[in-house]
Amino acid sequence: MKILGIETSCDETAAAVVEDGRKILSNVLASSSSIQSKSGGIIPEIAAREHIASIIPVIKQSLFQASLTGKNASSGYIDNTKLIEWAQQNIDAIAVTAGPGLIGCLLVGVEAAKALSYAWTKPIIPVVHTLAHLYSNWLVEKPPPKMPVVVLTVSGGHTDLLLMRNHGRFQILGSTRDDTAGEAFDKIARMLELPFPGGPQIQKLAKSGDLKTLVLPRPLLNNSDLDFSFSGLKTGAIKEIKTGRYEKNDVAASVQDAICDVLVRKTLKAVEKFKARTVLLAGGVAANTYLRDLLIKRSPIPVEIPPINLCTDNAAFVASYAYFNYHPILWKKINAESDTSSILQRYAVVETTESKIR
Ligand code: KG4
Ligand code: ZN
């Protein structure tokens, strides 16, 4: 079964074709992050406008690349009529991120997917982005992770701990109560006058810094629940930066250590509590080598981290999620939802949901 996935929840316009949930036939992405970098963060209105400009070319390119699979040609002129013919004959269903995310951005992908579903009379599956992230682990050429799995999804948009007992059996264990880990990296980096996105810049500077320089708060570390909070840590770091007493690389090393320490400890608490057999890491912050190494070093069970282009937002994991959680609904009934709790209640079977998830 070939599913066309569409993703526009944040600043990436993405479309992909995935066969049987695991084989990527195409994975196309246009990002507005370089435009956003000038403003030091994502401006939803600009991201939405960029989606409008990119959505059709990105979908066309992903169908075109998928149609070439197994053939010698790798590029060339796209004949619209032939492409539509190919899609009508070969695409079995359409999957689209319905939320959570920026509402103006989500709408672009959702409306495009609904139009295609109607025009091509293909089933359509609404996808919950937070859960779809997990499926980057099904897109690598390895045996699927042993369940139950605990997943830490960390990016600019999320800091979520999830438990997956099987496809369709997800449990949200915890989430951030305020800033995400990616936001904490980005906001502290901005105070250090580093360009956006700040996470990779902090990682680079931290290499030559002393992580013991700043003593930063590690909020909610000893709480009984599995929620996160990064605003105290962020404010603590910003206060120290303002004193002008510390070198940037020492601040970067201390911040990176504090954020990653909290992430790893909470994840391992979840592993122990739910007797997980695999830990998965997802989201843009999974690119952080200090976080990866710390998790691998401390984890008593295998840690799986897909290549970073699959960890960050893409449409291949949207298509994969839809294959393993195949619940098509009438195109008219799909609406974009920015809020996590509402989208989970509406479109996903989740055993427990938290009201504060971002
Ligand atoms: O998943 P992603 O590309 O986009 C969403 O936010 O959905 O994640 C971007 C986030 C940014 O906050 C960026 O600073 C962070 O991931 N990030 C990193 C690293 N690479 C990206 N944070 C820490 N270390 C990195 N190496
Ligand atoms: Zn994401």
Sorting pLDDT into bands at 50, 70 and 90, what band is 352? very low
Q: What is the mean pLDDT of residues 295-319?
A: 95
Which ligand has an atom closest to residue 29 CA?
1
Pocket of ligand 1 (CB under 6 A): 10, 155-157, 182, 185-186, 197-200, 203, 283-285, 287-288, 312-313
Q: How confident is the model at residue 345 (pLDDT cuts 50, 70, 90)?
A: confident
User: Where does the chain have alpha helices with state H?
Assistant: 33-37, 44-67, 80-90, 103-120, 129-132, 181-191, 198-206, 231-242, 248-273, 289-298, 308-311, 316-324, 340-347
Place 157 in a pLDDT band, splitting at 50, 70 and 90. Answer: confident
User: What is the per-residue pLDDT for 284?
Assistant: 87
Dihedral over alpha carbons 325, 328, 332, 338 (to 10 degrees): 0
Mean pLDDT of 148-167: 93
Q: What is the pLDDT of residue 69?
A: 80
CA–CA separation, 189 and 197 (whole Å): 8
22 pLDDT above the threshold of 90: yes
- Tokens 């319905």 correspond to 98
pLDDT at 75: 57
Place 350 in a pLDDT band, splitting at 50, 70 and 90.
low
Whether 95 and 317 have beta carbons less than 8 Å apart is answered as no
pLDDT, mean over the chain: 91
What is the predicted pLDDT for the residue at 300?
98
Residue 113 burial by Cβ neighbours in a 10 Å radius (0-12, 13-18, 19+):
buried
| Amino acid 31: pLDDT | 81
Find the 159 Cα to ligand 2 centroid distance in Å. 10
- pTM for this structure? 0.90
Closest ligand 1 atom, residue 289 Cα: 26
Helix ranges (H only) for 133-219 are 181-191, 198-206
SS3 309: helix
Q: What residues contact 47, with CB distance under 8 A and at least 6 apart?
A: 10, 11, 32, 36, 102, 104, 105
Q: What residues flank ion ligand 2 with Cβ within 5 A?
A: 313
Does residue 70 have a pLDDT over 90?
no
Q: Atom 13 in ligand 1: which residue has the minimum CA distance? A: 199
Stretch 139-157: mean pLDDT: 93
> What confidence category does residue 78 fall into, taking pLDDT thresholds of 50, 70 and 90?
confident
CA–CA distance, 182 with 283 (Å, rounded to integer): 9
- Count of CA atoms in the C-beta half-sphere (13 A) of 184: 34
Closest-lying ligand 1 atom to the alpha carbon of residue 181: 12
pLDDT tens digit sequence for 197-243: 899 999 999 999 999 999 998 888 888 899 999 999 999 999 999 99
What are the respective helix, strand and coil percentages of the chain, to the nearest 5? 45, 20, 35
Query: How much distance in Å is there from the Cα of 97 to the middle of ligand 2?
Result: 10
